[in-house]
Structures are given as C-alpha cells and as structure tokens.
Chain A
C-alpha cells in the first residue's frame, strides 16, 4: 500500500468516524433554528448563546468560588456558601429562560399558556416578593411593590397574548405586548438584583441569596428529566464512539480483526481481572443481591438481542430512540416532578397568605405514596402496554413488525424497571450493582465465543464483538473514559462528574432535539424551540448554581438512578439494535431515525 493510499485511507477512516460519531447524530437530531420567524429565531439564538455561556460556566464553575462568598443555605450539617457573583449570573440566565418560555407560551394555545403561566408563578413563588430593611431610599420603597406587580403581570400578559393570538388580529399590539412581556420578566429579576445591591451596600441582611437558593432547591425536581436525559445522552454518545472506533475495521481481513479482538479482550482482562480476582470473589459471595442484578442485566441483554434478531428478521426499519429516551426520562422523573409541583403549589399558597390551604395540600396529597409506588405503577403500565402493543394484530405487515419492535422495547424497559423499583421498595435501598461485573462477564463470554468460533469468525462478527466490548467498557466507566483526558486538563476548574453533565446536555441539544424542530397545530415549531431552549437554560443555570453552592448531592443520586434504570436498558437497546454497523458497512441496517 503506497503512502498516498495510506493517507487516503486514514482520511476516509477519520471522516467515517467523524460522520458516525458527530456529524450524523447532529444532522439528524439537532435543534434547527432556520425557518423560524425572525424574532423567534433571534430570541432562540440569544437563548442558545446563554446556554453556551452556562455550559462554559459549568465547566469552569470552580472559578466562581474564587470571589466573595455568601451564605445561601444553613439547614445542612455544614452551611452552604455560594459565590456572590453566581447569584446575579443565575438571575440573568433564569430571567432570559423565562422570557423565552413565556414568549413560547404566547405562541401556543391558551390551555398550554395557562400551564406555562402557572409554572412561572409556582417556580418563582420563593422570590415573588422581597423584604427590604432600608427604607431610606425611595427606590427601595418602590421596588418590592414592583417585584410583586411583575410577578403577577408576566404570566397574565403571556396568557392574554396567547388568547389574542387565537383571534389572528391586533398584530402590532401583540408585538408590543411581547416586548412588554419581556421587559416585565426582566424587571422582575432585575428589581431583585437592585434590591440586593442596595441592601447589601447598606450592611443589611439581603434576602435574595437565601430566597433564590430556596427557590432553586424547590425546583430541583424539575431538573431531573434533564439529568436523566444527560445520562442517557452520554450512553448514546458512548455508543457512537464505539461505533466510530469500529468503523475502520469493517473491511480489514478476518484474521486481522480476530487478532485485534483478542488483543482487546486481553487488555480488558488485564485491567478487570489482574489483581481483582479477590475483589470479584468477595463481591459474588458477599453481595449476592447485586450479583443477581448484574446477571439479570446480562439476561436482559440476551433477551434484547433475541428480540431484535426477530424484529430484524421480519424486516423492521427501527424505532426512534429519541422518543424512547424522552419517554423514559419523563416516566422516571414523573413522581419527583409531581411532588415538586405539589410542593410549589403549597409554597405558592403559603406565600399568598393561604397557609391553611397550603397545609391542607401538604397534609392531604399522597406524596409518600406516590414516591414509593408511583414508579412501580408506571413501569407496570409500560410493561403491560408493551405486551399489548407487541401482541396487537394488525393487517399491515409493516405496522405489525413495528408494533412488535415497539412493544418489545417497552416490554424490555418495563421488565427491567419494574423488578428494580420493586426491589428498591422492598429493600429500602437504592438498587444498583457494579457495572464492571457485567463488563467482565461480557468480556469472558466474548473470549469463549472467540475461542469456540475462531475458525468461523468473520470480520463482521469480530468487529461487532469488539465494538460491543468497547461500548461495555465505556458504559462501565459511566462516561469517564470518554472524558478522562478532558477532565485531567480541566480538573482545576470542575469535578470530572460535571463534564459528564456538560457532554450529556450538549448531546441532548445537538443530537436529541429533533422534536423541537417539528411542528403541529397544537404545538407550533416556534413555540417548541423557545420552550425547549428556555427549559434547557433554566435547568443548566440551576445546575450551575447548585454546583457553585456545593449542593450537588441531589443531582448525583439521580445520576445513579438514571444510570441504572434508564441508561442500562438504553445501552442494551443500542447495543443490540444497530450491532455497531455504520450505514455503509456490509450487512448494516439503515435505521432511519437514529
């Protein structure tokens, strides 16, 4: 092979890897701003800029703490001190998020606008008013009233504009109303900041840091869907990376592919087994419940492989992963979100003086029951729905196969989540196991497979197996492998785990946001874009804040929860669905909606 050919091959390989890993997912799943009305597009661009700034802030979040600190929370064993600078930074970001969300509300139907207006009221109930000690300034006497007025005016205005939009008339008034809406929201947050600065400069106790912290903590439940999406996004990214790494090997001779596979197995065993036999032995004897969970996961993988083999045999064109991921994240976060809504309703009522009503809500809403049994019920429904869909008889062969695939996916998900959440309630402990055990088991199975089928093993089988092992390693590393290099460089600014959030959110924005580019009569595209960007800004701003304030425990636990209940079945789904075959590879399947 000449040097020129070699260079061309390297270039082709690099391009193929780029396409598989980045270009294709982004092309198919990115948030599209082209074609939006100019004002909406510009607002969306502004939102994306804010989101980008927030992601940079996430990566460099330790830098915030080099400035002055302020007490934001003292309920825990040790007080939480946040950077003073992150308070206005978060307020500005959240203000822009709400401008986008409420503007999005004006572009939806009034029913949806009511929902979003209520969301604004509930989400901001902790900062719906402010306490001012310094009465020496006229501004300080006026601003508290202004804050309350804006708090109520913004959602009312959004709702009014939504109703007005239905009439199709008064366009100039609607435009002016939109500007007033944006200014109202910005005034609401801006007035808080002015009060904060004036009170602090007078040496008075400024209430904003604690109020904002309380508000953010009351809203953490609403971030859970994004945390879960981020974890799922990482798994998808790992899958793309494994797929991309495998890409150059699809056309190598079988002997070379087999030797490389053996080398990979040897390397994996070197790190998984050497010096760790005792650890695994203790694990298997001392932690049987976890070992059983790991074995169950291997079984799930097997079942998924069988299912897709069947689906594939019947010529299915695939099931959109994005909708499964979103559905899964909503399902898993549903109980937390509902309880969060109820809590904020109670806070809202209490804040408005209806303490009895707030107490009634807290006392009578079955939060404990919901938290304990909500997910069990929901996963049982998923399981049953999967069974129903898979067994549904339909005359159209395409739909029959698709139903079988969709139903099968739901059955798999339900069959994994249901026993896990049941186990969680029975044992009163978080479920979970050392995913390294599954990785080791897969490696050993692969070793046996390679040895038994050595002569009959072709390139495709060897590459598939190798890619699966790589993918397993990436998933077992919970994304750390993919980010280790970056995290070493950025260790001075942020904990490695934060990078996983950043990468996960980036993946969601770049490759898992196609739904926001779609449109429907009820939910037009411009509204989707604004709402989605607004939500992302809101959640990343809050995440950034809790990291700076060192209040990360909550998020981390949901990472685990999401990893075990969504990322693992998703990984199984991804592993068996595509078999790591790029679209152009021999025997590769075009999934269409990857």
Chain B
C-alpha cells in the first residue's frame, strides 16, 4: 500500500466487490438495452410479423363458400410512413369474383399496429394518417378511433375491444383470444356509408376469424383460420402435405451439384457458346443459384429469396427473409430449404413460396443443409449438427462438432460426412446421428469433403489431400500437393480435381491419389470448377469461362464474359453451377449496375439476350419517357424543364415551362415539346421555337407522332392535327372535341393514321378523312397495329376488352375480356400481339384469331406498355413502388412468338418505370430516378 495503511479484510473485499458490481451492472445495462430493440413487442403477440408467417383462411361470402385466402408475411418493407411489415394475400375466389391479390403494409410500435396502405388490383391506396389496427387497451370495452383518408375517401373508424374468449381454431382450443369490432363511416357526397369489421385475435397466431360487412358494396365476407405457420406455432395445414414419395435428387439442386458434393454432372454436355438466358439483379449474391429443370432459386444479400421459372422467366415467388441469408438454399422435391439471419429455417413450397414449416434454430446454419431421404441435416454456427424431419422440421438427433462446420455435409450411402474448420472430419449415421468414425486432419480444413466412390476426399491447409474409407474412416491414401487449396474440389469419373494456388488445375487419381495431370490456368480463380460430362468448366477472376478437357486439362475454349455496361468491371466470385440442364455463371459487378449478372448457357438454340448499355445520370425526376436524339437524351423533367443530357453526362436546359412537360419527342433536328398550353418545335441545338401550335392542357399519354416530314399531334378539345414539321403549317384536322380517353395516334406504313380516343378510326394520312370508324369505345393508353389488325385495350361504358379490328375494313376480328392499366396498352408486330393487364397478367396472342400463344404472370402490375424490339418483346414490371425496399421492379425479355424467356434486368436503385419505360432509337429506356438506363438487347 502506497499510503502505508493496512486495510482490513472487508476494505480489501470492497475494493474488488465494487468494480465487480459496477462493471457488471454497466455491462448488463448496456447489453440489455441494445438487445431490447430486438425483443418481441406486445403487438407481435396479436399480429405475428416474422417473415414467413402464414395464415390460411376459409372464405365465405354471403354465407357461400368462396374458396381460401392465404396471407403471408413476405418482407419487412418501408413506405413513406416508415418501416412496415408486408403481408401478401391471395384469394382464389374473392367475394366469388375470382382470384385476387393484395399487399398490406403494417407498421408497428410496441403498443400499436397501424396500416400504412394496401395494394390491390395493381394500384396502391395509402391511409393518411396510418390507420390503427390494434392498440394496447386497458381492457374489455376500451376503444380507439381514427379519422383520415383512404386514398381520396374520407373515413372515420372506431375499434372496440369487446372481450376475451376461447376459440377453437383448426381443432385446437385457443384461450385468451380477443374480440374486436370496428365500425367505419365512409363520408360520401351522397351521404355517409357505414361498414363493419369484426376480428378475433389469438396470442401468437393473430386473426383467427374475421367478418367484414360493406352494405354499400353488397358483401359480407367471413374468414376462418384453418392453418397457420410460424417458427413458434403451427396449426392445421397451410398447404397440402407433399406425398412422401421417394424424391430423386437432381444435379444442381444443392451446392456442389449433388449431395455427394462432387461438383460434377455426369452424362451431360456443356455447351457454353450459346446464351440461354440472362438475369441481372441489383443485389450482390453470396451463393450461386440452385435449382432444376424449370426452377431457379436464388438467395441475395438483402435477404431476398426468389424462385424463377426458367422457361418463362416468371418470378414464381419472392420472400424477403431477415438478411443476409447465411447459407445457400437447397431444393429438394417440393421443398426449398431456406435460412435467415434470424436463425429461422424454413421449408418453402417450391411452387408457391409458402412455408410447409419453419423452426427457430439456436444459431444460424454454418453451411448449406443436406436433404436426404426424410431428413434435413443442418450444421450450425453453434457447432452442432442436427438431423430434422423433412416433413415438419422437428429434431431427430444432434451431434456436437469441435469447431464451426466448414463445408456442406456430404452424403455417402447412409452416412453424413462433415468437416469442421479446425480439421476434424466425422461420418454420422443419417438415421440417428451416431458417429460412425471421426478423424483429424493435420492442419485446418481447406476443402471437401466430397464423396469419391467408396472414399471421402478432404484437403487441409497443409496441402494434404486425404482419402478416407467411407465406412471405416481408415486413411486410404494421402497426397501432399504442397500448395494451398482454397476452393472446393471436384470428383469427376476417376479423378479428383483440385485448384492449387488458385492458378492451376491438378487432377489426382481417385483410387490412389497419384498425379494424373496438371495445367496452368494462365489466370486465377477463387471458385470451384464444374465438371460436366467430359468437360471441366473454370470461371477465372478476370471474367472468362474456360472449357477444358477432363482427360488432360487442355483448354478447349475460353469465353469472355463481359460486363453489361462499360462502367462496371467484371468479377467472378461464385462458381459456375448446373441448373436444369444449363450452366449458370454468376458475374459480380461493382457500381453502377448491376451487382449480379446470371448468365445461363445451354445446349438449346434458345437465343438468350442481355440488356446491356449505359446508365446516364440525369438531373432530377422525369415526368415522361426519356428519348434519344442521336447520342443525346431528351428528358421531360418533373421540374417543368426539358433537358438534354449528352453521352458525357453534361446537361443543358432546352426549354422551361410553367406546367408539367409530359413529353419531348425528337423530330429530326428539332424536338416537339408540350409547353404550357401549346406544342412547340424547338431546335435540338437550342434557341427559339421554330413554330408553336395551341394544344390545350397537357394530357399524359397523348403524344405527337412524327411521320416523314410531318407530325400528328393530339390536341386537347380539338382532336388530331397534322402539321408540317418544318413550318408548323396545319395540313388537316380530325375533330374529336368531346372525346374521353387518352392515347397517341399510330401511323401505318402507308401513311394512314389510327386513333382510338373517342372511337377507333383509320384516317387517310394525306387528308385526315376517316376510312372507317368504330364508335362507342375509347382507350386510356396506346394502341398497336399488327399485320392485319389494330389492337386496342378498348373501354366502353360497361366493360373493357382487348379488341382486334381489321385494318382494312374496321370490322371486329376478336375481342377478349381485359382489364387495362391506365396509360398502358398492347404491342404488336407481324402476327403477334402482346398485352398486359392491370394485374400484370401478360399474354402473347395470335393477332388474327386472338388465341393465346403464351402467357406470363408478373408479381405486380406493369410499368409500361410492352416494347417490341425485332423478334423479342420487353416487358416492364412496375414493382411495388410504394415500398422503398421492394424488389419486384423488373424488365424481362421474351421471344415474341413463343414467350420463351431470354433475359431480365432489375433496374438498379429505385425504379420509376411508370411512364418512363419505352423504346427509343432501337434502345429500351427506363428511369431509375437518379439516372436513365439506356439498354440494348445483345
């Protein structure tokens, strides 16, 4: 003691005790405060909001059975009102009127759940302010109210907590459920309308029964819960239980090609010279896709897990699990096994994305699961290997590992072989987890295990390749290769193929480890090769795919894989994989776009394309479609200006208006712009207008069309005006003064003009006189001309339909029911018509007969009219643009006649496709807010 005093025992104790208590309390307070943000809220008891939670209701309308309703929490999104749980609902016969699709956005605090808005029938309606659905209330009889607007409709509602009840749900009695009633008054000019809503909420389940009555709309909808899935509760069934028939695993359904992790596809051919399809995504991936014929499953860094039907390009489903996804998904029969960062493991239905089951693990999986027979083997970061029942996810067995599992387990007969990072290798019996044998590598794990016949091959950091007998675990052979191996090995035929040092390929004899051949790559790779038939495919870092002979490693061909845009260098950080008969290579790009580019090569002459080009930065948001004038981009801006952005990104203002500028149409060396209440022809290089034309208030979707030396201009309150481009002189006027509708004219090759606002008409291009008319219809979007017919999404006073009218006579060829989306119309070329309705249902039709050739279903509504480029059609899906985290906005390219999927691109950033998507000068353009993507099909 420096002070010379001798403290007594208790003082000594106190000296230690105080820090122990003080530091302990400080740590405890800090840890518990931080963790409190992740604790389940009270609201979650009544409205479970974990992604993957699924409810299945039986619906009755007016006492009549109207099918079922599946609701699933698919994402945590964000609206302008803040973070929101996204609940997707699908009715197979809502109110007896057919299938329906809805997204709800629910925000939550600890004691309140509010509805931000809902998307239904392709359009979004917000609740302003967000409407409370549930509030922590004192007890039965307490109520809470809300006054606000739903879209443009004023409403007032009062919700009352009626009392606690016990309810039988799916055969099980649920205690402590709460009954709420909501009375809503809708304010209308014609008088107030009353509606009611009753719901029974059970703890950890949510709504088990609802009754919604809207007398003004003439329905009473009752729904009763018959199935429920969440990681903590399960009731009844939400899906038909798959028949437990023996599922034959197919190559590519799991990382490492198969359950033996051989990385090899036998009896197949690798044709990497022909692109089958491409898919550019805006998020990075950590795992290559998995899948089988017609199904591609991809997990992305933000937690998006999606399934694409590779024949049509349709996104079958997309769920946003809490990201990042820690391990690769695995496909097995009807299941897709997916893990999230929240430690929840789910078996999703491969077709619907709805969970058959989900469970919460103690820790996230460390490696991709193995599904074999009726068991899912999951090796976790908690250093445990668990065997789960495939049917319901319940645990069969668990076995500890010394260190963290390093590589997906390999299946060898009835044994599951797993290696941990410290270099321990163990073979567990699949049936009960019993350790058949275990061994320790000299150094830490580097690669494997992979099954090579009756041996297990593993590589350690010392560069020792070891082959152990599958059954006994005895070392069969070992080979010291003196170089680092950091990528998974491949077992193909009688070879074990390694990538030592990342710059060479070395093949060992599978039976004794003797060296068979070694070749230099003349490049470096970080990823495992893929053996297909007699070929070995190696993706090297600088973006080339090498095809080599498995016999001697010789190079057969080297395919350069370029970036879709010059600004983004190519990297390959994922191995090539085999998905449904195609080799899929994943390219990783830096900014600006895309982050991930999947390129599929296949034996068929499918004619896949890539959407390549540039992202040109633009100043501000657009109010109309950008168009190319030579190399310059014309931008009608939301700031009432038209700007010209050159290839270098330099911008200049062409004209400023005092109102919206809906378009800027290039016309030779001039630009037609709607400025204020007139159309002006401005020199592209700038300067005063060459001429002006009084045109009334601008109408979005009504744009002039340039034809030869003239232009056909829709003029509000007048009709169509044909003008001389050079002078602005009126050539003729077609009157359509009181017409209701929106649309632009179409100029036929012979100069005649088609126009459909206020009745479909064909005008003589020289005189403006009608050749024929079809009155009684109008349009709210573009029309299209095919070989012999004109196609319009025609709206009448009573219904809407897709209409084909004979170009020569004006006779109706065919008509089919159709619900168009505003400002979006069909496209046609030759004998094919493509039309997309408000819900995103797209059809390819025979123009002459209207018979369907192909169909394509979007997850959300369209972002623009289909664009036909040559023999291909480009579709734009708008996505849920109310959700800042939505991943549904997408462009997809299809063969015009067959609908076959050729390519897709997810616009980077936040896509504003509505009104900004279209074709110009042979390119496809789309706005992403901060820029315009100018794309070509290559």
5 A-B pairs within 8 Å (CB atoms) are namely A89-B31, A203-B78, A429-B482, A496-B402, A497-B403
Tell me if A282 and B382 are in contact (CB < 8 A).
Answer: no
Evaluate contact between B480 and A85: CB separation under 8 angstroms.
no
B33 at the interface (CB under 8 A from A): yes
Bound: A81/B363 CA distance, A: 10
Measured CB to CB, the nearest residue on chain A to B477 is: A282
B914 to A: closest C-beta gap in Å: 27
Is B286 within 8 A of A77, CB to CB? Answer: yes
Q: In whole angstroms, what is the CA distance A92 to B26 when docked?
A: 8
Give the distance in Å from the alpha carbon of A432 to the alpha carbon of B33 in the complex.
47
Give the 7 A-B residue pairs with the shortest CB-CB distance, closest first. A203-B83, A88-B30, A68-B38, A46-B19, A79-B324, A49-B19, A200-B37
Taking a contact as CB atoms closer than 8 A, the residue among A69, A289, A495 that contacts B364 in the complex is A69
Of B26, B301, B475, the residue contacting A74 (CB under 8 A) is B301
* Interface presence of A201 (CB below 8 A): yes
Is A164 part of the binding interface, using a Cβ–Cβ cutoff of 8 Å? Answer: no
Instruction: Decide if A287 touches B2 in the complex (CB within 8 Å).
Output: no
Residues of chain B with a CB closer than 8 A to A363's CB: none
- Residues on the B chain within 8 Å of A96, using CB: 23
Say whether A556 contacts B444, CB under 8 Å. Answer: yes
The answer to whether B403 and A35 touch across the interface, beta carbons within 8 angstroms, is no
Bound complex: CA A74 to CA B363 (Å): 18
Taking CB atoms, residues of chain B closer than 8 Å to A35 are 1-2
B341 touches A81 (CB 8 A): yes
Indicate if A78 sits at the interface (CB-CB under 8 A): yes
CB-CB < 8 A to B478: which residues of A?
282, 286
Q: A197: CB under 8 A from chain B?
A: yes
Contact between chains at A62 and B324 (CB < 8 Å): no
Encoded as 1 (CB less than 8 Å from any B CB) or 0, chain A from 380 to 423 comes to: 00000000000000000000000000000000000000000000
A49-B20, A432-B462 known; A84 and B364 CB under 8 Å?
no
Cβ-closest chain A residue relative to B24: A53
Interface of A is mostly: helix
Residue pair A53, B83 in contact (C-beta under 8 Å): no
> Given A66-B362, A556-B444, A495–B35 Cβ distance below 8 Å?
no
Apart from A79-B286, A88-B31, A88-B33, what 7 extra A-B contacts exist at CB < 8 Å?
A85-B35, A197-B36, A197-B37, A200-B34, A430-B461, A491-B402, A495-B422
User: A residues bordering B, Cβ < 8 Å?
Assistant: 34-38, 41-42, 45-46, 49-50, 53, 62, 65-69, 71, 74, 77-79, 81, 84-85, 87-89, 91-93, 96, 193, 196-197, 200-203, 278-279, 282, 286-287, 289, 427, 429-430, 432, 434, 491-492, 495-497, 550, 552-553, 556, 560
Residues of the B chain whose Cβ atoms lie less than 8 Å from the Cβ of A92: 23, 26-27, 30
Any A CB within 8 A of the CB of B813:
no
Q: Say yes or no: is B494 at the interface (Cβ < 8 Å to chain A).
A: no
Tell me whether B381 and A65 are in contact (CB under 8 A): yes
A289 and chain B: residue at smallest CB distance: B482
Nearest residue (CB) in A for B78 is A203
What are the interface flags for B358-402 relative to A under an 8 Å C-beta threshold, 1 for contact and 0 otherwise? 000011101000000000000001110000000000000000101
Q: Closest approach, in angstroms, between the C-beta of A406 and any C-beta of chain B?
A: 34
Q: Which residues of A contact B362 (CB under 8 A)?
A: 65-66
* Cα of A88 to Cα of B34 in the assembled complex, Å: 7
Encode B399-425 as 1/0 by CB contact (under 8 A) with A.
010111000000000000000011000
By a CB distance below 8 angstroms, the chain A residues around B696 are none
- Which one of B1, B286, B363, B402 contacts A78 once the chains associate, using CB atoms below 8 Å? B286
Complex Cα spacing A200 to B400, Å: 34
Question: Is A67 a contact partner of B363 (Cβ separation < 8 A)?
Answer: no
B483: Cβ under 8 A from any A Cβ: yes
* Chain B hits for A36, CB < 8 A: 2
* Distance, CA A49 to CA B21, complexed state (A): 10
| In the assembled complex, B479 has its CB within 8 A of some CB on chain A | yes
**Minimal beta-carbon separation of A558 from chain B (angstroms):** 13
Q: Is B326 on the interface with A (CB-CB < 8 A)?
A: yes
Within 8 A of A (CB), among B13-45: 15-16, 19-20, 22-24, 26-27, 30-31, 33-38
Q: How far is the CA of A93 from the CA of B26 in the complex (A)?
A: 10
B463 x A65 contact (CB < 8 A): no
B717 at the interface (CB under 8 A from A): no
Closest partner residue, chain A, to B363 (CB atom): A65
B195 interface residue (CB < 8 Å to A): no
Q: Are A85 and B31 in contact (CB under 8 A)?
A: yes
Shortest CB-to-CB span from B51 to chain A, Å, is: 14
A62 in contact with B23 (CB, 8 Å):
no
Q: Is B240 an interface residue (CB 8 A)?
A: no
B574 nearest in chain A by CB position: A77
B383 touching A193 by the CB < 8 A rule? Answer: no
Residues of B close to A85: CB separation below 8 A: 31, 34-35
Contact present for A203 and B82 (CB under 8 Å): yes
Q: Give bound CA distance, A491 to B403, whole Å.
A: 10
Q: Which of A34, A35, A68, A553 has the most CB of B within 10 A?
A: A68
CB neighbours (8 Å) of A66 from chain B are 362-363, 382
Bound Cα distance from A560 to B482, whole angstroms: 17
CB pair A495–B3 under 8 Å, yes or no, is no
CA distance A491 to B326 in the complex (A): 24
* B31 x A69 contact (CB < 8 A): no
B31 touches A71 (CB 8 A): no
User: Is B475 within 8 A of A279, CB to CB?
Assistant: yes
In the complex, the chain A residue whose C-beta lies closest to that of B400 is A491
> Among the interface residues B19, B366, B381, B573, which one has the most CB atoms of the partner chain A within 10 A?
B19
* Interface check B810, CB cutoff 8 A: no
Shortest Cβ distance from A57 into B: residue: B27
Chain B residues near A79: list those with CB within 8 A.
286, 301, 324, 326, 341
- Complex Cα distance, B381 from A550, in Å, reads 8
Are the CB atoms of A53 and B27 closer together than 8 Å? yes
Closest to B420 in A: A495
B540 in the interface (beta carbon within 8 A): no
Q: Given the complex, which residues of B lie within 8 Å of A556, measured CB to CB?
A: 444
Q: How far is the CA of A197 from the CA of B341 in the complex (A)?
A: 19
**Also in contact, A286 and B381, with CB within 8 A (given A46-B23, A88-B30):** no
> Closest approach, in angstroms, between the C-beta of B406 and any C-beta of chain A?
11
Assess A197 versus B326: contact at CB under 8 Å? Given A50-B23, A53-B23, A495-B402: no
Q: Which residue of A lies closest to B384 (CB)?
A: A492
**Distance between Cα atoms of A38 and B403 in the complex (Å):** 44
In the complex, what residues of B have CB within 8 A of residue A53's CB? 23-24, 27
Q: Mark B471-504, 1 if CB is under 8 A from A, else 0.
A: 0000100111011100000000000000000000
Question: By the criterion CB–CB under 8 Å, are B30 and A193 in contact?
Answer: yes
**Chain B residues near A282 (CB, 8 Å)?**
478
Distance between B904 CB and nearest chain A CB, rounded to angstroms: 24
Q: Which residues of B contact A87 (CB under 8 A)?
A: 34
Taken together as a complex, chains A and B put the C-alpha atoms of A121 and B517 apart, in Å, by 54
Residue B145 is within 8 A (CB to CB) of chain A in the complex: no
Contact call A69/B463, Cβ cutoff below 8 A: no
Docked complex Cα distance between A201 and B483 (Å): 49
**Contact of A71 with B341 in the complex, beta carbons under 8 Å:** yes
Q: B34 contacts A46, CB within 8 Å?
A: no
B301: nearest residue on chain A (CB-CB)? A74
B442: CB under 8 A from chain A? yes
Measured CA separation A551–B205 after assembly (Å): 38
Contact status A81-B383, CB under 8 Å: no
Give A62's nearest chain B residue, CB to CB.
B382
Which residue of A is nearest B365, CB measured? Answer: A78
Within the complex, the shortest CB–CB distance from B42 to chain A, in Å, comes to: 15
Which chain A residue lies CB-closest to B362? A66
B327 within 8 A of A: yes
Which residues of B564-616 have CB atoms within 8 Å of chain A's CB atoms?
A: 573
Contact of B121 with A by CB under 8 A: no
Partner of B1, one of A34, A74, A201: A34
How does the 8 Å CB contact mask read for B320-347 relative to A, with 1 for contact and 0 for none? 0001101100000000000001110000
Contact of A197 among B33, B301, B323, B479 (CB under 8 A): B33
**Chain A residues near B19 (CB-CB < 8 A):** 42, 45-46, 49-50
Contacts of B343 in A (CB 8 A): 69
Question: Which single member of A37, A62, A434 contacts B442 (CB below 8 Å)?
Answer: A434
Which of A49, A71, A427 makes the CB contact (< 8 A) with B16? A49
**Closest chain A residue, CB of each to CB of B12:** A45
